[in-house]
Amino acid sequence: MTDLKAFKPGENIAVTPGKVIFQNELMQLIQYNPSTPAVHQRPFLFVSPWINKFYIMDMRPKNSMVKWMVDQGFTVFMTSWVNPDERLAHKKFEDYMLSIVEAMDAIEQATGEREINAAGYCLGGTILLTTLAYLAAKKDRRVKSAICFACMTDFSEPGELEVFIDEELITLLEKQMGERGYLDGSQMAGVFSMLRANDLIWYFVVNNYLLGKDPYPFDLLYWNSDSTRMPRDMHSFYVRNMYQKNLLREPGGITLAGVPINLRKIKTPVYFLSAFEDHIAPWTSTYAGTQLVGGPVKFVLSGSGHIAGVINPASSDKYGFWLNPNTPPDPGGWFKDAVKQDGSWWPDWLAWLQPYAGPHIPARTPGDGTLQPIEDAPGSYVKMRYDQSTGG
């Protein structure tokens, strides 16, 4: 799809300065250097998906959501997930959730602040809301606000992915994962490409194979090719309990780390962002999250799709977004009364976030707290290619 030699994390993408300040088997936690003399008191945590690498939120400086947040005066942290091999086949969905709790604990050690704000993208948003329900059951209210980018909580209408949620196919994948210990990243990438075959398969067959043109260096397509493996146990649990059985929406439908998960116990204010042309997480499905959590909600609909609709810099005048302060049960009712705005939705989110950000304090740098830096950002986990999960 693109020139895979044109980009390299840490050199011309994922270049926002920072340090890895914590890691476990599944995750590295990056703390970014401040770019302002003062920062908001409450740190900010990005929970990235683990289908691809985290740097969709830190591409090049001109479209980096991480850099933009740092420049707005936030102490920003990011989860960077490992590319697992057969040694992590036993890792479960709850292990990813508990890693997020570990990240929150590490942020407290790094900054001295227990209260944070957080965001999750796609599967990262699903696991963030699951974590909030887990914390709510334990009376832990440390997350003061959350934003979910294109994340599913009710899987009754999974959109075009529904054709892959078939018992025969799931059984076949489980057999393959039983032999290897993981779902290979190229299989997942192939699924998503088939959903947009004209754009992501046949266009390149014609231009690169038939016409002999060299692939164009495009950062988003490089990221799209940088897929990761998924541990056997985690993937099987996720597909069967969420996509197939749709149990996350049911109070106590799933139990993680001994805790029945009930999204309705979440009292944290949540900003739901979806994209009008999203074929992976259709907005009419992600909208259901506004009806499942128990706290204040805001729903915003961006133009474009799953990636461009989210990674739409504040300086951009493209796509636009729709606003409606009400969240009726039906997404069609929401859209009927929504008003379209020009440009990026990022400034609207920033205005919503400000009341939860806390007062300004002197800027923090990695290593100021009790955790010492392990290595420079973007860290070593993100550099593990899909065919090099052990770094070889």
- Arithmetic mean of pLDDT, 3-16: 86
335 or 192: which carries more pLDDT confidence?
335
Q: Cα–Cα distance between 12 and 201 in angstroms, integer? A: 26
Going by C-alpha positions, the residue among 96, 93, 116, 119 that lies closest to residue 106 is 116
Residue 305 forms part of a structural domain? yes
pTM of the full structure: 0.90
Predicted local distance difference test score (pLDDT) of residue 260: 98
Residue 278 forms part of a structural domain? yes
Q: Cα–Cα distance between 354 and 347 in angstroms, integer? A: 11
Residue 6 forms part of a structural domain? no
Predicted local distance difference test score (pLDDT) of residue 183: 83
Q: Domain of 301? A: 18-157+231-383
Q: Which residue has the tokens 């508990």?
A: 98
Q: Which domain CATH number covers 22? A: 3.40.50.1820
Is the C-alpha dihedral spanning 242, 248, 253, 256 positive or negative? positive
**What does DSSP say about strands 44-47 and 38-40: parallel, antiparallel, or unpaired?**
unpaired
Phi, psi dihedrals of residue 300, rounded to the nearest 5°? -130, 135
Going by C-alpha positions, the residue among 39, 30, 38, 37 that lies closest to residue 9 is 30
3-state helix, strand, coil in the chain (%, to 5): 40, 20, 45
Asked if 28 and 380 touch (Cβ cutoff 8 Å), the reply is yes
Catalytic residue set: 122
Q: Cα–Cα distance between 296 and 176 in angstroms, integer? A: 43
Predicted local distance difference test score (pLDDT) of residue 164: 66
- Arithmetic mean of pLDDT, 203-214: 53
Q: Convert 279-294 to b/e letters by CB count within 10 Å (16 or more is b).
A: ebbbbbbbbbbbbbbe
358 or 213: which carries more pLDDT confidence?
358
pLDDT greater than 70 at residue 321: yes
Q: What is the pLDDT of residues 196-205, one digit of tens each?
A: 545 554 444 4
Q: CA triplet 248, 249, 255: central angle to 5 degrees?
A: 35
7 confidence band (pLDDT: 50, 70, 90): confident
Q: Where are the beta strands (DSSP E) in the chain?
A: 18-23, 27-32, 38-40, 44-47, 76-81, 116-121, 143-149, 182-183, 230-231, 255-256, 259-260, 270-275, 297-302, 321-323, 339-341, 360-362, 375-376
Residue 194 forms part of a structural domain? no
Residue 337 forms part of a structural domain? yes
Residue type, 259: V
Q: What is the pLDDT of residues 116-139, one digit of tens each?
A: 999 999 999 999 999 999 999 999
211 or 10: which carries more pLDDT confidence?
10
- Arithmetic mean of pLDDT, 28-36: 98
Residue type, 149: F
- Arithmetic mean of pLDDT, 221-232: 81
Both tokens of residue 100? Answer: 């997020």
Residue 3 forms part of a structural domain? no
pLDDT greater than 60 at residue 222: yes
Looking at the structure of the chain, the number of domains it has is 1
Burial of 237 (0-12, 13-18, 19+ CB in 10 A): middle
Q: What is the pLDDT of residues 70-128, one digit of tens each?
A: 999 999 999 999 999 999 999 999 999 999 999 999 999 999 999 999 999 999 999 99
- What percentage of the chain carries pLDDT values higher than 90? 74
- What percentage of the chain carries pLDDT values higher than 70? 86
